[in-house]
Amino acid sequence: AQSVTQLDSHVSVSEGTPVLLRCNYSSSYSPSLFWYVQHPNKGLQLLLKYTSAATLVKGINGFEAEFKKSETSFHLTKPSAHMSDAAEYFCVVNTGTASKLTFGTGTRLQVTL
């Protein structure tokens, strides 16, 4: 069985300050882990993906995530938030040969001036 837990349903940061969105996963096998972003009234866009090649993964728009097996975590970070980062962020896991993705409940990121 696989699952993800996003520890915060809502995060608010000021523009220019760091972003941290937390995700813990549970998996019976070596997982592939993803972060997707959903802007209002838009579809799901892939931010980044971990596939065991490197534990620190860099994605689009300055985001990155670090896979920590000992902590079963895959937190998403960005050094400096921008107003355009305001969106819903989903941590997603895919394990074994099952092709389905399992989504977390999402974290809504609010960026204020």
Partner 1 sequence: EPEVTQTPSHQVTQMGQEVILRCVPISNHLYFYWYRQILGQKVEFLVSFYNNEISEKSEIFDDQFSVERPDGSNFTLKIRSTKLEDSAMYFCASSVSGTSGSVRDTQYFGPGTRLTVL
Give contact residues for partner 1 (rule: CB under 8 A). Answer: 29-32, 34, 36, 42-46, 49, 51-53, 90, 94-106
Q: Shortest distance, CB of residue 102 to partner 1, whole angstroms? A: 7
Nearest approach in angstroms of CB 13 to partner 1 is 22
Return the number of the residue (80 or 110) whose C-beta is nearest partner 1: 110
Q: Which is nearer to partner 1, 38 or 77 (CB)?
A: 38
Least distance to partner 1 from the beta carbon of 2, Å? 9
CB 94 within 8 A of CB 27: no
SS (H, E, C) 33-92: EEEEEECCCCCEEEEEEECCCCCEEECHHHCEEEEECCCCEEEEEECCCCHHHCEEEEEE
